[in-house]
Structure 1
Amino acid sequence: MKLQQLLSLTRKAVDEYQMIEEGDQIAVGVSGGKDSLTLLYALHGLKRFYPKSFLLRAVTVDLGFQESDFEEIAKVCDTLGVPYTVVRTEIARIIFQERKEENPCSLCAKMRKGALNQAVKELGCNKVAYAHHRDDLVETMLLSLIYEGRFHCFSPRTYLDRMDLTVIRPMMFVSEADVIGFKNRYELPIQKNPCPADGYTKRQYAKELLASLNQRDPGVKDRMFSAILNGNISGWPERVPRRR
């Protein structure tokens, strides 16, 4: 996927779900994976021509794994001219050594998001961008059906009233295949996930299940994504289709 296509899909999400307003200060949560680095490039590119001016910065939550190395992320941010902050935590030690969680993902995600959102507020930002893409939305909906018995998915734009912070997901129209294509085309410096639970999660199960369904009945993921957009899910903002 070329940068132009990435910017087009990002702007579609930003416009249709009113994600950016004039004067916003937006932090991108950058883990070093393909999704968050692609999002950083997307918002950096959008910033150059979007009619509403906004400030952009990158924030990484260091979970405390010894293998973590953020030097390449820092280089990318320096090249793009985006201020970069690393938030040091001991989340890995708490989860794997102190609590010895058998199913660590949910607690880790909660602690990681809490640390990120707190840091974002302290940096003076009013919005934080998460790198969830189109496949993430479909997988989340499927997990909700299987394990919660309801049709649900996280919202493109969510206001956290306790923190006075808005979460946005500008890559919601970008497929994972396109993210991989962008990563390969522009040779993004992807960092290997040091978490020992990586690849052994319920989300991985949903990903493999969807791949199997889509192989047997091509177009399943596209139809599920359309169902999410048209499903009147509680908490979702009104969609305003772009004029062509």
Structure 2
Amino acid sequence: MKLQQLMSQTRRAIDDYGMIHTGDKIAIGISGGKDSLTLLYALHGLQRFYPEKFDLEAITVDLGNPDFDLSHIRHLCETMQIPYTVVKTEIAQIVFEERKEKNPCSLCAKMRKGALNDAVKKLGCNKIAYAHHKDDIVETMMMSLIYEGHFYSFPPITHLDRTNLTVIRPLMYVSEADVKGFCRKYQLPVVKSPCPADGYTKRQYVKDLLRKLNLENPGVKERMFSAIINGNISDWTPRIR
């Protein structure tokens, strides 16, 4: 996938749901993975010519793993002239050593989001861009069906009342396969997740299940995605075009 194609799909999502307006200061949560770095490239590219003028901040919540090297990401942000903030935490120690959580993902995500939101507010941002792509949306719907018994996936825009921040998901039309292709083509400095639970989660189970379903029924993921965006899910913002 070329940068121009990535920006085109990202802009379509932003336009369809009115994600960005002039004066927005948008924080990009950088995990170090392929998705968040792809989002960084997409929004940086759009920033130059998008009619609604906005500013960007890049933020990483460091969970406290000693082998988490962010030097290449810092260099990338400097090259793009995007301010980069690393929030130091001890979340990994709390979750895995002190609490010894058998199912660590929920607590880790809650603490990580809390640290991110606090940093975003201090930097004066009013929006946070999450790097959820099309496959994430379908996987979340499947997890909701399998584990909670209802049809749901996270919306393109979420307003967080407690913090008065707005979450946007500009990569919602981009497939994971295209993200991987973009990372390879442009040699993005992806940092391997140091989390010991990586690859052993319910989401990974659902990802593998969907891969099998799509092999046996070509196009099933696309049809599921269409069902989601046309499914009148309660807190989804209607498309404006």
TM-score category, normalised to shorter length: over 0.9
For 1:121, the equivalent position in structure 2 comes to 121
Counterpart Cα distance in 2 of 1:226 and 1:238: 14
Q: What is the one-letter code of the residue matched to 2:222?
A: D
Deviation at 1:240, TM superposition (A): 2.0
Counterpart Cα distance in 2 of 1:207 and 1:238: 27
Question: Secondary structure of 1:239's partner?
Answer: coil
Counterpart Cα distance in 2 of 1:239 and 1:113: 27
Tell me the TM-score normalised to structure 1 length: 0.98
Question: Secondary structure of 2:27's partner?
Answer: strand
Counterpart Cα distance in 2 of 1:28 and 1:138: 22
Q: How many residues are aligned here?
A: 241
Deviation at 1:157, TM superposition (A): 0.4
Is 1:102 paired with 2:102?
yes
Deviation at 1:62, TM superposition (A): 0.3
Question: Secondary structure of 2:172's partner?
Answer: coil
- Listed one character per residue, the Cα deviations across residues 4-43 of structure 1 (whole Å, up to 9, x for unaligned) are 0000000011011110011000000001100000000000
Is 1:204 paired with 2:204?
yes
Tell me the TM-score normalised to structure 2 length: 0.99
For 1:172, the equivalent position in structure 2 comes to 172
- Segments of 5+ residues of structure 2 without an aligned counterpart are none
Deviation at 1:77, TM superposition (A): 0.2
Counterpart Cα distance in 2 of 1:117 and 1:228: 27
Counterpart Cα distance in 2 of 1:121 and 1:153: 26
Kindly report which structure 2 residues correspond to 1:1-244, keeping only aligned pairs within 5 A, or say none.
1-241=1-241
Deviation at 1:82, TM superposition (A): 0.4
Counterpart Cα distance in 2 of 1:213 and 1:105: 25
Counterpart Cα distance in 2 of 1:160 and 1:121: 12
Counterpart Cα distance in 2 of 1:190 and 1:146: 31
| Divergent runs of 4+, >4 A | none
- Listed one character per residue, the Cα deviations across residues 64-119 of structure 1 (whole Å, up to 9, x for unaligned) are 01111110110110111100000001100100011000110111111111111110
Counterpart Cα distance in 2 of 1:130 and 1:114: 14
Counterpart Cα distance in 2 of 1:86 and 1:219: 40
Q: What is the one-letter code of the residue matched to 2:6?
A: L
Deviation at 1:238, TM superposition (A): 1.1
- Listed one character per residue, the Cα deviations across residues 130-161 of structure 1 (whole Å, up to 9, x for unaligned) are 00000000000000000000000011001101
Counterpart Cα distance in 2 of 1:109 and 1:17: 26
CA RMSD of aligned residues (A): 0.5
Q: What is the one-letter code of the residue matched to 1:30?
A: I
Counterpart Cα distance in 2 of 1:110 and 1:216: 36
Q: What is the one-letter code of the residue matched to 1:116?
A: L
Percent identical: 69
Counterpart Cα distance in 2 of 1:62 and 1:181: 26
Counterpart Cα distance in 1 of 2:192 and 2:162: 33
